[in-house]
Structure 1
Amino acid sequence: MDIRKLYINGEWVEADSDSYIDIENPATHEIFAQVPRGNEKDVDNAVKAARAAFETWQYTPLEERVELMKKVLAGLKSRRQELIQTITNELGSPLKVSAEVHTDPFLLETEHYIKVASEFEYEERRQTSVVRREPVGVVGGLTPWNFPLEQIEKKVVPALLAGNCVVLKPSQFTPLTAYILAEEIDKAGYPAGVFNLVTGRGGEVGDALAVHPDVDMISFTGSTDAGREVARKALVNIKKIALELGGKSAAILLKGGDWEQGIRAVLDTVMLNGGQTCNALTRLLVPEDSLAEAEEILIRQTKDYTFGPMDDPEITMGPLASRKQFDRVKKYIEVGIGEGARIVLGGVPEDDGTYNVAPTIFSDVKRDMRIAQEEIFGPVLVVLPYKDVDDAVSIANDSIYGLAGGVFGPEEEANEVARRMKTGTVYVNAGEWDVASPFGGYKQSGLGREGGREGYEEFLEVKTIYDR
């Protein structure tokens, strides 16, 4: 594996240009690697290879596709520690988080995709027809920096299992995990051109994929603004599009619930990955006459989230991913203060060069404040008081986003409220993530789903054959 090369048509090749992108370790600020700055010509070469490979790959027996992916999974499992360390190096994530949040769940999800592909009904008999599901074709995968393995796995694994060919453009900030996957795909013996890796900047490589006439589908994860632009370009020639975008998810505390457990669950999402998580429950809705009680629990529990050495198993907080991210979050905290929100904990971070932002909590937040409506993407929680349950649901749904949510309260009431929230995923009390279930959003949080059977179906087209 040579990270100064691209993987195109089954070979590690030089990029068209001689330019490279520096990869910074956010914890040390060390430039510890470089990857090629691919361009339109590299994309065209990769797409041509994928298009040629698709002519035969789409007809490869399912059993062969499954066996190849099993080899890839075995290779990734054998390199688990390398994956963990790589994610820590390129993302600034503590080793514990890199293992338990970024790596292990998505090795498990790969196993589940293999199961889904193996058991999927690709043809269904209707009254006078057969409804058949077939691979889409050449898939362009555009992935973000905040979950380097997960977002690649959610695109590449189901796409290949379904019989598609892939051109992957990982984030320019966290591309190294993709190289490990590419090497394992190469070792597994996939036919040349089935999988291709082109690194580079979004505005160059990503745009070239989006507008390329021989790319049949774009699967994109990132901000809503970037997703809107990618979709606009992709629709020039009417590609299939899957978008997993931003969020400003609400959690509702109901009277009579276990608030200790509920607030812990909320903080775990807000502080996870330095707050750089699209489905974090960053709006906490609390009965207005119980605000002080919730704030006491928040202050007490938030003290458990601390910074420290990346290899300390007790440490769960790391730096933000870049100077750009630090400046963004710092600005939003200043905006919140300017809007009149009350700081309960934390505050404007000191610009000491570490990219560290301490957990910050605002209270007495009004629903129309920017910090209540816009995605901050840092360890910042906003607390909004509500009058009654109807008011809570109204506030929760008052967002352009609809990615996730949470309700913590008496079981029956909490489930009723969850069903009224306009969002793609809702956690009720101690509910836990299920590898078999889909993930995705309502409204401007995206189009389509990832994970589970639904995430597999995104990479299949539907054909009706009338034969009776």
Structure 2
Amino acid sequence: MTETQQSGSLAGQALATWQMVIGDARRDASSGEWIDVVDPGLGQPFARVPQAAEADVDDAVAEARTSFDDLRWRGWSADRRSQVLWRIADLVDRHSAELADLETRNQGMPLSFASAHVLPSVARTFRYYAGAVERIEGRAVDLAGPGTRRFHAYTRREPIGVAGIIVPWNGPLLSLSWKLAPALAAGCSTVVKPAEETPLTALRLAELCLEAGLPPGVLNVVTGVGSRAGAAIAAHPDIDKVSFTGSTEVGRSILQAAQGNMKKLTLELGGKSPVLVFEDADLSAAIPGAATAIFSNAGQICTAGSRLLVHESVIEEVVSGLAVAADAIRLGYRTDESAQIGPLISQRQRQRVDGYVAQGLRDGAEVVTGGAAPEGAGFFYPPTVVTGVHPSMSLVREEIFGPIVAVMPFADEAEAVALANDTPYGLAGSVWTEDIDRAHRVAGLIRAGRVGVNVHASPDVAMPTGGFKQSGWGRELGPDGLEPYLETKSILVAVDA
């Protein structure tokens, strides 16, 4: 592993103060409490945001409910709403350097990655759903009633109401766009709660949405810890739908809280995605592909390929090549142009990742490379390759959310599929083979919401993503991503014979 590169210091600097966006106002928390926002590359706070309580969530929901009931957004024509979404995308492009800088300082990803990949994807998501607004359509049916009675029947697609959007810390701005753009396209009003670790780009995006012409009250952003602000959103009787991305454990608590008013839910939860490398795979593509699958964003990706299943005839070559690839990855602070991955989000997360490796060693696993945090500032952790594991280990069964890959051999296709599906999760996976029949067959047998063939692909806005089993409910992105924010109403009109 190359040496961690960092620069800059926040010592002695005053913390930048941000406020929540509720209606057309910028607000502190009603309690007067604040949360420090930490730069994970330096391990020091650089900003602070309000610590919202239930009363603040009540105010935000009241603004959203009023904006929904008075038709200030959903009552607009499809063309007019589409134009606002398109302007939001244009403003994201115009402010991309500012947003990328803010995202990397807050989340830790390299600036080059945010600029080249995250911000263009955010803008594209808003443009995709700007186009979808005018494709929200019902259908008409002529029905025959008793005797000579006839009916003209038709359906309407209407916004579900007020949507609560709870966003994770691993890709805060991109994840927010996946939820907010379709919610607005459907005509919903929203209350957004970003992760307490990464709230800043959500607040800035809210300002840009207002600048683009989104009516006040349609988008409200409250900040604070999930156990207070997030829990209040999940349980609020005036919120009709919640979209959440995060851990399966928290997803269960949201499910319980939502029972009060039977609110609809979209949940993207944990993952332990398999990468299957067969004996006929092109290893010159499969090895760097497996490295990208697990080490991108320091492994802090829901769909990360954290279980590498390799045919026994090529496992030595794959492990050796993967170790070389891991050692070549450069950790660095966000502005280091040579940095390929940044730090983990917090000291707590780094301790959690390190604890899994330590437990794996106690269980008999072997670390091929990595496995120890470097010295110095920031919450960095090296790409780590672990062998000698078995399916019952916590390294293999539990989501780590760090740059740790567990490698296991398989003897044949049946064993590969069995190992791939031996998990409570089902978010993603990939199959690496030159046999096209096997590729389609195995991809069809893996129980996951998205499977790549000779690629462990990042999702595109045009294709749905979501989980099987305990990886969640519902889908985001593509046409499917609009559906959770819509209701279908049937209307029957009696027509004289």
Tell me which interval the TM-score lies in, with the shorter structure as reference length: over 0.9
In the alignment, is residue 376 of structure 1 matched against residue 400 of structure 2? yes
Equivalent of residue 110 in structure 2, options 77, 81, 94: 94
Aligned to 1:272: 296
In the alignment, is residue 263 of structure 1 matched against residue 277 of structure 2? no
Task: State the shift of 1:358 in Å.
Answer: 0.8
In the alignment, is residue 175 of structure 1 matched against residue 199 of structure 2? yes
Task: State the shift of 1:72 in Å.
Answer: 1.5
CA gap of 1:190–1:347, structure 2 versus 1, over 3 A, is closer
CA gap of 1:387–1:466, structure 2 versus 1, over 3 A, is farther
The CA distance in 2 between the partners of 1:68 and 1:319, in whole Å, is 36
In the alignment, is residue 290 of structure 1 matched against residue 304 of structure 2? no
Give the partner amino acid of 1:79. H
Task: State the shift of 1:236 in Å.
Answer: 2.1
Task: State the shift of 1:354 in Å.
Answer: 3.1
Task: State the shift of 1:323 in Å.
Answer: 0.6
Aligned to 1:240: 264
The CA distance in 1 between the partners of 2:242 and 2:467, in whole Å, is 17
The CA distance in 2 between the partners of 1:464 and 1:271, in whole Å, is 48
The CA distance in 2 between the partners of 1:239 and 1:121, in whole Å, is 22
In the alignment, is residue 13 of structure 1 matched against residue 27 of structure 2? yes
Equivalent of residue 126 in structure 2, options 77, 94, 110: 110
Aligned to 1:418: 443
Aligned to 1:462: 488
CA gap of 1:237–1:84, structure 2 versus 1, over 3 A, is same
The CA distance in 2 between the partners of 1:379 and 1:127, in whole Å, is 58
The CA distance in 2 between the partners of 1:359 and 1:14, in whole Å, is 40
Asked if the contact 1:403–1:424 (Cα under 8 Å) also holds between the matched residues in 2, the reply is yes
Equivalent of residue 45 in structure 1, options 30, 47, 59: 59
Task: State the shift of 1:127 in Å.
Answer: 6.0
Q: How does 1:145-224 map to 2 (within 5 A)?
A: 145-224=169-248
The CA distance in 1 between the partners of 2:243 and 2:456, in whole Å, is 28
Q: Residue 319 of structure 1 aligns to a residue in which SS?
A: coil
Q: Residue 458 of structure 1 aligns to a residue in which SS?
A: helix
Equivalent of residue 341 in structure 1, options 343, 365, 389: 365
CA RMSD of aligned residues (A): 1.6
CA gap of 1:215–1:257, structure 2 versus 1, over 3 A, is same
Q: Residue 132 of structure 1 aligns to a residue in which SS?
A: strand
The CA distance in 1 between the partners of 2:370 and 2:54, in whole Å, is 45
Give the partner amino acid of 2:321. I
Equivalent of residue 463 in structure 2, options 427, 437, 441: 437
Number of aligned residue pairs: 466
Asked if the contact 1:260–1:297 (Cα under 8 Å) also holds between the matched residues in 2, the reply is no
Asked if the contact 1:248–1:282 (Cα under 8 Å) also holds between the matched residues in 2, the reply is yes
Aligned to 1:133: 157
Q: Which runs of 5+ in 2 are unaligned?
A: 1-15, 144-152
Give the partner amino acid of 2:175. Q
Asked if the contact 2:105–2:334 (Cα under 8 Å) also holds between the matched residues in 1, the reply is no
Cα deviation, 1:85-130, whole Å, max 9, x if unaligned, reads 0011101111112223332222222211212223x24212356442
The CA distance in 2 between the partners of 1:227 and 1:114, in whole Å, is 29
Cα deviation, 1:243-267, whole Å, max 9, x if unaligned, reads 0111000010112111221121121
Asked if the contact 1:132–1:462 (Cα under 8 Å) also holds between the matched residues in 2, the reply is yes
Q: Residue 43 of structure 2 aligns to a residue in which SS?
A: coil
Give the partner amino acid of 1:437. M
Task: State the shift of 1:309 in Å.
Answer: 4.1
Task: State the shift of 1:467 in Å.
Answer: 4.4
The CA distance in 1 between the partners of 2:106 and 2:18, in whole Å, is 16
CA gap of 1:213–1:342, structure 2 versus 1, over 3 A, is same
Q: How does 1:27-38 map to 2 (within 5 A)?
A: 27-38=41-52
Task: State the shift of 1:351 in Å.
Answer: 6.0
The CA distance in 2 between the partners of 1:439 and 1:9, in whole Å, is 31
Task: State the shift of 1:148 in Å.
Answer: 1.3
Q: Residue 251 of structure 2 aligns to a residue in which SS?
A: helix
Asked if the contact 2:449–2:466 (Cα under 8 Å) also holds between the matched residues in 1, the reply is yes
The CA distance in 1 between the partners of 2:141 and 2:441, in whole Å, is 36
The CA distance in 1 between the partners of 2:74 and 2:118, in whole Å, is 31
The CA distance in 1 between the partners of 2:63 and 2:178, in whole Å, is 22
Cα deviation, 1:441-463, whole Å, max 9, x if unaligned, reads 00110101111110011111122
Farther off after superposition, 120-129 or 330-339? 120-129
Cα deviation, 1:2-29, whole Å, max 9, x if unaligned, reads 9532211222233212111100101112
Asked if the contact 1:393–1:420 (Cα under 8 Å) also holds between the matched residues in 2, the reply is yes
The two structures have a TM-score, normalised by structure 1, of 0.96
Q: Residue 191 of structure 2 aligns to a residue in which SS?
A: strand
In the alignment, is residue 230 of structure 1 matched against residue 254 of structure 2? yes
Cα deviation, 1:52-92, whole Å, max 9, x if unaligned, reads 11011322211111111122111111100001100111011
Equivalent of residue 397 in structure 1, options 421, 430, 449: 421
Aligned to 1:305: 329
**What is the identity percentage for the equivalent residue pairs of Structure 1 and Structure 2?**
37
Q: Residue 417 of structure 2 aligns to a residue in which SS?
A: helix
The CA distance in 1 between the partners of 2:127 and 2:475, in whole Å, is 18
Equivalent of residue 83 in structure 1, options 87, 90, 99: 99
Aligned to 1:123: 138
Q: How does 1:58-77 map to 2 (within 5 A)?
A: 58-77=74-93
Asked if the contact 2:448–2:468 (Cα under 8 Å) also holds between the matched residues in 1, the reply is yes
Task: State the shift of 1:193 in Å.
Answer: 1.2
In the alignment, is residue 366 of structure 1 matched against residue 381 of structure 2? no
| Larger of the two Rg values belongs to structure | 2
Give the partner amino acid of 2:413. V
Farther off after superposition, 339-348 or 377-386? 339-348
Give the partner amino acid of 1:94. P
Task: State the shift of 1:295 in Å.
Answer: 1.2
The CA distance in 1 between the partners of 2:222 and 2:79, in whole Å, is 28
